[in-house]
Structure 1
């Protein structure tokens, strides 16, 4: 019977659903939650009993509730409070053990976890005051009772060498040991180059001039390069020297499966017997200088070989070593060690492309014209033999010397590594450098981004103490390798896409216009609005973003502007369907070039073999797991990057601690109402408090400036300042500075 309209229904109302998402806390106590309704700012007083990483429900707070300082760090995001925790991210917590009879109190080392954890001394009487322990949570904190747990493991003692990095490993739950089954599976792994060639699936590229270029401290070498010329059919080469390609080389030259230039996408096939008449049948045997002339006049093409370790041969789908690698998803490069994705028998030995030793590889040949356009490609498993293991520094010095006409000096840079092959290797390095510049220019011309970055690498002594910092920047040597790898990744992605073979792709979505709009006032502060259309920039026009990066080049704020734009970008992720890569201006992109250290690359190798040789009995299972693997790999990549960054910062601040009381130059990298952050040349940051500055400073949160109420002086991003290092806290990765001098017009009463 229907209810009267005047009578209230007794039916229970459905409770309003609250937005939910993962809480990301900062060391300052506040945090953010990304939900289906957008991202919310959580003030420090409104996190309730949630830990960083917990899945939480949040409820809106009225604007203005968070206060002036909090509003400055919220980035304009709406405020909210944590209503309840839906799922806990931390089963264990790492911290410093403090004796407080009858309890042992564990103070979390992670500054984002604000709750001390109580344990009973009688449960772990062997644990000493000051020990660093892992405690398993038994009761999470609430309004009624504190957090409680049981000591599970003693990691070391506070202050011990290396315990700080152990904390990073424990905090991010990184795996440090391989299961016995995985080690047993790879114990007898061997190259067996002859067996590879007899199988009929591998081509013999051992006569090519192949070499690796890596950082000088690299332990595994999973990518190598080669370069030569192939003669186009019908080219008249009076007086020139050519050689007929071997059946393998010929098949490589003419067997490209697609046209990357786009004019003729239909597939072409040829046989080794028909190489002189179909495709590029002759490999030029003269000097590359003469070969370059042939390429310039259109009689030949460059053949750029990118040779990648054939890891999939040694890691069968579903084996213990595969399952462990799938779970790790990536190697983790910490300041004092590498946590490899694969056991060292593979990563540092059988799969590593060591010089002068035969190795199984998967090779991609890119055929380029005089303008550096990739007009064809071919892929195949191969057997190679690297002629030299080069380091970036040596290659850079060699290229610089060669440009100055000092050929002997250039040879001397690589002589020790390349030996008898030095001339051949140097010749290829010079032309690879030219090709890299053309590949880079083509990428920029189609809208690709070119971000400048600085990477701090701390050098340690035998006891794990920091002794110096190398700030690595992009050079011609690093670009030479990077551009070749980008081109190979793109070629493989297009090949798999057009072959309609399932795979994992690297996808980078276009940035949100809202995030770019937030940068507009800052760019106006730098005066870039006079050179670049802010309307185009805020709409996400890649060429306008390029113009901003170009405007910053060579200026003191160059790296700051680049990092601000990077932060405004969305993260690149792995997906099981191809999509555009905004940063590279690529319609399809993948990761193919590092299967020793990235699981998605290993998956791409498997699917490339599927495309080349047909489906196997594991293909269906691989396809079914593709989506989950892509998602997990994206998450594992973020964890690995965070752990690597934290471990470097620990040692950076430990080194900075040795210079307390000294002065240093830096630039303003951030502002809040209480003061500003200063970035030093070694990439460390410290905070300058304005409490004792003698006047009130007004924050413009949009333009990121501080203006003095009496002096009218302005502190802005990118300003050069000189500071004195006051206090450093390595475990917190924080420092406090005192301002010594600043730009003109800054009326600070400086504290000496």
Structure 2
């Protein structure tokens, strides 16, 4: 026997792991360190969309010869695998339609990517009506030999086909709290203004100062108001930013505080608002409604004629708003400001001067490296029954700019004051983008003639000035919104932290959120810290200070949840609205390119899919670097930002999805 032979125990080969993404067709994909694997429907083994799974690759050809539409084959050439085990579950609850099938109540998941019904015992929840929309908690997950079981945790709606049922599904899927605790409701009901007590406690009396609010037309909670006066003796403008004094009514550790802390933010859905605070506070006592006396935390910002901050003063005050304007009304005044000023009154000239100062502030921020992304926000207009009737588009206007710049300056001022005092604060941090995220855009931008070679190195370095140049060069072209969207996606998300690390997008050395304490918990925290810095530390100050890291992480996470729910609700109502336009043609922009087809976005911002099979009978080659699909016979190229004429083939409200074909094709 050779002495060189090694007798070693063979180690078992580790199986790939990754997060499972399941399609509506029942098959899935798992991205692993070894690459992406296709999982046929027969290989899911009880795994749900979003689960972390361990997989075993199948032998070559094991899933060949069948189409994706059959749920058991991949036409994109990915290696196939099957799920061996679920390492970590993404879901402990599901939302679905409750069906009575004695002795069971069967919950059929509303998410088509989860193809497993959950069985409950009808005797445990006999009051749940057949067809109700429910949230079910899973007690046992499905296996190859047994079904999923659980129990009904909450009835979201008595019927799953009501106009608001789709939004109820979104609420349930994101586990948004919709009911306040009895303690929180009692706290809110017991709160009183006590104007005399406020003045006795040191609040300044600003009830004679002319003050106004500018908000969306359908707003109920007005948490910021403005005032503007010219101080002749100093040659300065006194811009007052008056913010609802929520911290007076919501002390740390109270029942209403605990509810607000869990929620962390109000959620603005297409057909409803889920407030952070009970309506007795958010819509009434804290809201800076016209003609009502209200407590505020006020920032007086003294500006010269060029919009530069000369000095400031921060203090609690008692105010009375004199006028409530919608953004549309404010814009109307600014458009025809000469006539408005000639007509007299206190509001027109103040709006004009606020707008002029805002433009000066915006220009100064741009010179410092601030980046202004051109975005279009879509809001679906609903009738009294919650059915969509139109889609309204919102873009930046003089009125929105006026409010935005005032709030940015107030936020910067408060954050800087607390930092200089060495006082705790929950900062709004925006880190510079990663160089690889920006670098990945270069091949896409090279397709456009305005993108020049010297821009490449500056872009990878995250130079905000070159990002400004790219946005300016692309803005007047058809790809302008797409370029803005791609750059925005390359940015890191801003979040809340107890350490100041600056705000890249605003070019701010120090920044926090101070201006919306009715709807954002971090703003409420900042108010408490400011009050403590201005007066004295409250009894439980150290306790709240120690919780800042957790509050920052939790608030950042809940912000993402709220944004996702809001976006999904608008998308759902857009699909419901566009269902009446199936068969009609539209002009669209290619907003995404993949091996299986294109994402296209209509001018109303609705986005859908254009499958590769709808592009023609030839084979299309996908370039993942330049994001293009190229026909191997015709040479036809489809790329990001390209305009295409499409026809709406289907609008599925169940999955909130749109499918298109090229105009002129079936």
Contact 1:97 1:131 in 2 (8 A): yes
Q: Where does residue 535 of structure 2 map in the other structure?
A: 613
Q: Which residue of 1 aligns with 2:209?
A: 208
Structure 1, 186-195 or 384-393: larger mean CA deviation? 186-195
CA-CA distance at 1:88 after TM superposition = 3.7
After TM superposition, list the pairs within 5 Å mapping 1:439-458 onto structure 2.
439-458=361-380
Taking the TM superposition and a 5 Å limit, the aligned residue runs for 1:170-319 are 170-200=172-202, 202-230=203-231, 282=233, 300-319=235-254
Distance 1:24 1:594 in 2: 36
CA contact 1:532–1:544 (8 Å) conserved in 2? no
Deviation at 1:696, TM superposition (A): 2.0
2:83 and 2:416 map into 1 onto residues whose CA distance is 45
Q: CA deviation at 1:311?
A: 0.3
Maintained 8 Å contact 1:110/1:171: no
Q: Which residue of 1 aligns with 2:71?
A: none
> Partner residue of 1:597?
519
Shift in Å, 1:89:
4.2
Aligned counterpart for 2:330 among listed residues 395, 398, 414 = 395
- Preserved contact between residue 26 and residue 112 of structure 1 (Cα < 8 Å): yes
Partner in structure 2 of residue 690 of structure 1: 612
Unaligned stretches of 5+ in structure 1?
A: 231-241, 243-281, 283-298, 412-421, 741-749
Q: 1:40 touches 1:80 (CA, 8 Å); kept in 2?
A: no
Deviation of the 1:84 alpha carbon: 5.2
Give the CA deviation at 1:570. 1.1
Separation (CA, whole Å) in 2 of partners of 1:83 and 1:570: 35
Q: CA deviation at 1:579?
A: 0.9
Residue 48 of structure 1, CA deviation: 6.0
Alignment of 1:320-339 (within 5 A): 320-339=255-274
The corresponding residue for 1:260 is: none
Distance in 2, Cα, partners of 1:52 & 1:682: 30
Report the counterpart of residue 136 of structure 1 in structure 2.
137
Q: Which residue of 2 aligns with 1:731?
A: 654
Give the aligned partner of residue 381 of structure 1: 316
Shift of 1:16: 8.0
CA distance in 2, matches of 1:731, 1:382: 50
Assess, with a 3 A threshold, how the Cα gap between structure 1 residues 31 and 7 changes in structure 2: closer, same or farther: closer
TM-score, normalized by length of structure 1? 0.79
- 1:113 counterpart = 2:27: no
Secondary structure of the residue that 1:141 maps to in structure 2?
Answer: coil
Q: Contact 2:20/2:28 (CA < 8 Å) preserved in 1? A: no
CA contact (8 A) 2:55 2:85 kept: no
Give the conservation status (yes or no) of the 8 Å contact 1:40–1:79: no
Mark the CA change 1:312 to 1:78 in structure 2 (over 3 Å): closer, same or farther.
Answer: farther
List per-residue Cα deviations over 1:347-404 (Å, max 9, x = no partner). Answer: 11111111122111000111222322223221001111111001100111111112xx
- Name 1:645's counterpart in structure 2: 567
Taking structure 1 as reference, are residues 300 and 187 closer, same or farther at Cα in structure 2, changes over 3 Å only? same
Q: Does 1:406 align with 2:407?
A: no
> For the Cα contact (< 8 Å) 2:54–2:87, is it kept in 1?
no
Describe the shift of the 1:606–1:123 C-alpha distance in structure 2 as closer, same or farther (beyond 3 A). Answer: closer
The root-mean-square deviation of aligned C-alpha atoms, in Å, is 3.4
Give me the whole-angstrom Cα distance separating, in 2, the residues matched to 1:354 and 1:106: 45
Within 2, Cα distance between the matches of 1:377 and 1:23? 53
**Is the 1:521–1:703 Cα contact (8 Å) retained in structure 2?**
yes
Residue 59 to residue 44, structure 1, CA distance change in 2 (3 Å): closer
CA distance in 1 between partners of 2:79 and 2:359 (Å): 45
Do residues 146 (structure 1) and 150 (structure 2) align? no
Specify the alignment match of 2:627 in structure 1.
Answer: 704
Kindly indicate whether the alpha-carbon contact (under 8 Å) linking 1:60 and 1:78 is maintained by their aligned counterparts in 2. no
> What is the correspondence of 1:413-562 to structure 2 with a 5 Å cutoff?
423-530=345-452, 533-562=455-484
- Contact 1:335-1:647 within 8 A present in 2 as well: yes
1:422-475 residue CA offsets vs partner (Å, 9 max, x unmatched): 622111100110111111111111111101111111111111111111111111
The secondary structure found in structure 2 opposite 1:170 is helix
Residue deviations 1:564-622 (CA, integer Å, cap 9, x gap): 11111111111111111111111111000000000000000000011111222111111
The match for 1:157 among 141, 159, 166 is 159
CA apart distance, 1:123: 5.5
Segments of 5+ residues of structure 2 without an aligned counterpart are 69-73
Aligned residues: 647
SS in 1 for 2:179: coil
Do 1:213 and 1:389's aligned partners in 2 also have CA atoms closer than 8 Å? yes
Matching residue of 1:358: 293
Task: Report the secondary structure of 1:221's partner residue.
Answer: coil
Rounded to whole Å, the distance in 2 between the matches of 1:363 and 1:23 is: 50
Moved more, 360-369 or 522-531: 522-531
Sort the Cα spacing of 1:423 and 1:723 in 2 relative to 1 into closer, same or farther, 3 A.
same
Moved more, 675-684 or 358-367: 675-684
2:16 touches 2:34 (CA, 8 Å); kept in 1?
Answer: no
Q: Deviations 1:215-250 (Å, cap 9, x if unpaired)?
A: 0000010001111233xxxxxxxxxxx5xxxxxxxx
Distance between the aligned counterparts of 1:639 and 1:221, measured in 2?
23
Change (3 A) 1:589 1:14: farther
Q: Is the 8 A contact 1:492 1:590 kept in 2?
A: yes
